[in-house]
Amino acid sequence: MNDDPLEEPEDRDEAAANDVPAEPLPAEERASVETDLEDLGAMRSVFQSQGAKGVVIACPECGENHYYDWELLRESLEHMLETGEPRMHEPAYQPREDDYVLWDYGKGYVDALADAGVVEGSRVELTSCGWCHADVEPHFAFCPQCGRSLAALRLYRELRDRGMDESEVRALFLQAGFEPLG
């Protein structure tokens, strides 16, 4: 199967035009769409919290990029599993390319995370900044009050949760150049 999870096979065009009921997807194609759904879920869990609105897929047929928001692509893939037919969609209106993740890049990125042993949903959640104690949302990368990166706090918590002594973690952070935590 090609890289575009929504590419429509030619023989299905004629069936749709003649109102012939769709045939179920062949087992290999069904497995491919199910894999695309899993990949989409993994990409969404990683990139949506960073502000990505969806994925962009380079179409080998028309040479254009097709932009899909997370939910639209999920629904389209599920529709293919249920009916054997791709769902038609309206193209995104003047999409900002930076708001979308390239499918191949996103897939490679989540595969690399899996290879490194990083599991989906393993992000260290924070409710407050470790320096100024302002409230933060779980998806924030920076404190909205003092502007410091919250990545260091997530790393601090993860090291503590893995059993490192607090004084050892604080010393390591100071040696690495981080400001002392509050």
Q: What is the pLDDT of residues 32-74, one digit of tens each?
A: 999 999 999 999 988 887 889 999 998 888 888 889 999 999 9
Is residue 25 within 8 A of residue 79, CB to CB? The reply is no
> Would you call 157 helix, strand, or coil by DSSP?
helix
Percentage of the chain beyond pLDDT 90 is 30
Q: What is the pLDDT of residues 137-161, one digit of tens each?
A: 877 888 999 998 888 888 888 888 8
Terminal CA-CA length for the chain: 53
**58, containing H or E segment:** strand 54-58
Among residues 145, 109, 140, which one has the least CA distance to residue 126?
140
Residue with tokens 């002594």: 165
Structure tokens at 70: 């997370």
> pTM value?
0.58
Output the average pLDDT for the chain.
82
The domain ranges of the chain are 10-115, 123-182
Q: What is the pLDDT of residues 70-107, one digit of tens each?
A: 999 999 999 999 998 877 766 667 788 889 999 999 99
